[in-house]
Structure 1
Amino acid sequence: MPRPRRRKGRPLLVLALLIVLFPVVSVLTTALIPPPVTILMLQRLAAGDGLDYRWRSLNRISPHLVASAIAAEDARFCSHRGFDMEAIQKALDHNDAGGRVRGGSTISQQTAKNVFLWPQRSWVRKGLEAGYTVLIETIWGKRRIMEVYLNVAEMGPGVYGAEAAARHWFGVSAADLTPQQAARLAAILPSPRRYKAAPPGPYVRRRAARVQANARIVRNQGLATCVTG
């Protein structure tokens, strides 16, 4: 009698192991090769947006865009371990006060969501996002996280990543982005389907000016050294 019971338990054990191992294997794999198309890309493609996704190594992406992304999205990117508790608390306080809803996600969290998960908000997704964030911080490291982020982030309707966005908006390669162009791309990251990097509207011009000024602070204070060395 004990043997059949052990056999019945084996499928559950195998399933549990697969559930644990799948995220680890997927993160290990994408540490070495570019991620394939993401769930968001497929959803947008099905909706008729098209798909322009051109992988470029971080060495072929302008450091101006690295600084601008940190300035716009995650000023403490190099100093946190995936979660910026101060930014999360500020976002909660802001939202409780009845202001415009603001998120506190780091670049690491956004990358985990973009690559491995779906865009719709839910507690399940947020829980999985936290787990994947810990994994990529541990396995990938900051430089790889930034490289993947700048390659898969949505930067326009059907446009993903620095190279496709640089070509789409400015007709240049990602390596040749100027500080102003990089700031404009970073400025539209929160709502890339609503705003245009070129020609920029009043909101994007104002936000890009702030991003460009803060990007200079990022460079001058060494806030991007975990990526640029």
Structure 2
Amino acid sequence: MAKTRKSAKSDTPAPRLTGRLIRRRLRQAVLGVIGLVVLVTLLYKLVNPPTTPYMLTEGHRLGGVTQDWVAMDDIAPVMARSVVAAEDANFCLHWGLDIGAIRAALAAGGDRGASTISQQVVKNVYLWQGRNWVRKALEAVWTPLTEFLWSKRRILELYMNVAEFDTGVFGVQAAAQHYFGVDARSLSGVQAARLAMVLPDPKGRDAANPTAWQRRRAAGIMDGAATIAVDGRASCFQS
């Protein structure tokens, strides 16, 4: 009987030890994931991503895509201003999430977008496409980290190099060649505005042969690009 009681006592700590071990392993796993995210984000601060998940998917579907990476200094300044005017006019004013735009989108019942350029970069470079709450949650956490570790100029540089401008055409250099036969550094104000105009719907809009509505939208982007050039909202990415 004594031997039996001793065996029972020796077995009782096991569940507590197992529970502590599981919690320790979970903490280690969470810290490992956080460390990996920080490391990958720091890596792309210095190194240009060779591809993105969406480019890989489209490349497999289409049999290849076109992309030619160009540094920010080799992109016409008016192109950068046009992209910001079209996609995120308060790019220089927020920390990754535009709370005002999010509130306006919620008030409109979700019919208007609220993603900043920073959010789109995180989605394009690291995550997957589509309206998915898991992806949106990851994007919401990863975006402020990216804003903290990267400069605004670097964020915009990546955006213009990985954004889709037509089916299988990624990045402003490939788009400038595809639509206008010029390099990104030589884009005019009209050409830059038309490229920025296609960004919300690259498969449904044409920068070379825009519709009447698309021409009006491009004209509005030109005005917006000129406005942010003088009111300070381009200061964070202009050299």
TM-score clears 0.5: yes
Q: Would the aligned equivalents of 1:163 and 1:174 in 2 still touch at CA under 8 Å?
A: yes
Structure 2 partner of 1:228: 238
Instruction: Name the Cα RMSD after superposition.
Output: 1.8
Task: Output aligned runs, 1:95-134, within 5 Å.
Answer: 95=109, 101-134=111-144
* Residue among 161, 185, 194 paired with 2:195: 185
Task: Output aligned runs, 1:83-94, within 5 Å.
Answer: 83-94=97-108
Task: Provide Cα deviations, 1:65-122, integer angstroms capped at 9, x if missing partner.
Answer: 11101111111100111111111112222236xxxx2111111111111111001111
Q: How high is the TM-score relative to the length of structure 2?
A: 0.88
- Point out the structure with max Rg over C-alpha: 2
Task: Output aligned runs, 1:134-173, within 5 Å.
Answer: 134-173=144-183
The unaligned stretches of length 5 or more in structure 1 are: none
Q: Would the aligned equivalents of 1:49 and 1:157 in 2 still touch at CA under 8 Å?
A: no
The 2-side partners of 1:43 and 1:224 are apart by 33
The 2-side partners of 1:224 and 1:188 are apart by 21
* Residue among 16, 24, 30 paired with 2:44: 30
Matched position secondary structure for 1:81:
coil
The 1-side partners of 2:119 and 2:77 are apart by 21
* Residue among 11, 15, 40 paired with 2:29: 15
Q: How high is the TM-score relative to the length of structure 1?
A: 0.92
Structure 1 partner of 2:8: none
User: How far is 1:123 from its partner?
Assistant: 1.0
User: How far is 1:37 from its partner?
Assistant: 1.0
- 187-196 vs 197-206, which moves further: 197-206
The 2-side partners of 1:136 and 1:118 are apart by 17
Q: Would the aligned equivalents of 1:71 and 1:218 in 2 still touch at CA under 8 Å?
A: yes
* Residue among 195, 204, 216 paired with 2:205: 195
- 14-23 vs 183-192, which moves further: 14-23
The 1-side partners of 2:95 and 2:74 are apart by 26
User: How far is 1:153 from its partner?
Assistant: 0.7
Matched position secondary structure for 1:228:
coil
The 2-side partners of 1:4 and 1:102 are apart by 52
- 181-190 vs 31-40, which moves further: 31-40
The 2-side partners of 1:50 and 1:224 are apart by 35
The 2-side partners of 1:154 and 1:49 are apart by 16
Structure 2 partner of 1:65: 79
